Chains A and B, each alone.
Chain A
Amino acid sequence: QSALTQPPSASGSPGQSVTIPCTGTSSDVGGYKYVSWYQQHPGKAPRLMIYEVSKRPSGVPDRFSGSKSGNTASLTVSGLQAEDEADYYCCSYAGSNHFLFGGGTTLTVL
């Protein structure tokens, strides 16, 4: 099983929106509703931002949203703020109680 595919970097200016794609296969992203997204600031632990493709845990700003089409899931950050600058990782259930992470995308707020 290979890691999910994410672009290494993404960027946007404050106030803009940016979308980060995460591509897998029909055996993982395309086959299940269990896609999640994690934010990681340097030297910190990951933080769950989106689960089950588009749901937000309590405390996550509604500027963060998720979606999925076929084998590609996406995280959209709207109204970019300086504190959104971080690494973002997607994760998908891959069946048989196994999980795959993406390689990560570094989001830069210009």
Chain B
Amino acid sequence: QVQLQESGPGLVKPSETLSLTCTVSNGSISSGGSYWTWVRQLPGKGLEWIGYIYYSGTTYYNPSLESRITMSVDTPKDQFSLKLSSVTAADTAVYYCSRSSDGYNFDSWGQGTLVTVSS
């Protein structure tokens, strides 16, 4: 069973860039045609799909966040990353990395990491 683990700063200042990395274990990021996904959960609220990246580097982003998102993949390290620029307090959330093995369902999840945007 593939395992995912998010890492990155828990505190980011307003207007700066949020950067998170997800490390994949018990599996290869470049095998099986999976899409590597970021989802966030605003405090006390529902889930929001941020986007996903194929191992080849092809990306698909949520239109509402697209202008601020960059995703990348590092296949030798079995890692993929999220950068969200110009953050505000509204970006404070628990950020999850996830795998979509078929491009349509999110079947494995990391434990999530809380990122707070505050000065």
User: Which chain A residues have a beta carbon within 8 Å of chain B's beta carbons?
Assistant: 1, 3, 34, 36, 38, 44-48, 51-52, 57, 89, 91, 93, 96-104
Contacts and interface: CB of A to CB of B under 8 A. Distances in A.
Interface size of B as a range: 20 to 34
B55 interface: no
A93 B37 CA distance: 14
Tell which of B49, B62, B103, B104 has the most Cβ of chain A within 10 Å.
B104
Describe B's contact surface by its main secondary structure.
loop
B63 A46 contact: no
Interface in B77-115: 96, 103-107, 109-112
Contact of A91 (B103, B106, B112): B106
A91 B105 CA distance: 9
Nearest to B97: A45
Nearest to B102: A51
Nearest to B111: A45
A36 to B, nearest CB: 5
A103 B64 CA distance: 17
B96 A98 contact: no
Given A48-B107, A91-B106, A99 B49 contact: yes
Contact of A51 (B64, B104, B111): B104
A51 B105 contact: yes
A100 B45 CA distance: 14
Interface string B39-52: 10000011111001
Contacts of A93: 104
Q: Which 8 A-B pairs have the closest CB atoms?
A: A97-B60, A45-B109, A51-B105, A99-B49, A34-B104, A101-B47, A104-B46, A103-B46
Nearest to B108: A48
A36 B105 contact: yes
A48 B112 contact: no
Nearest to A1: B63
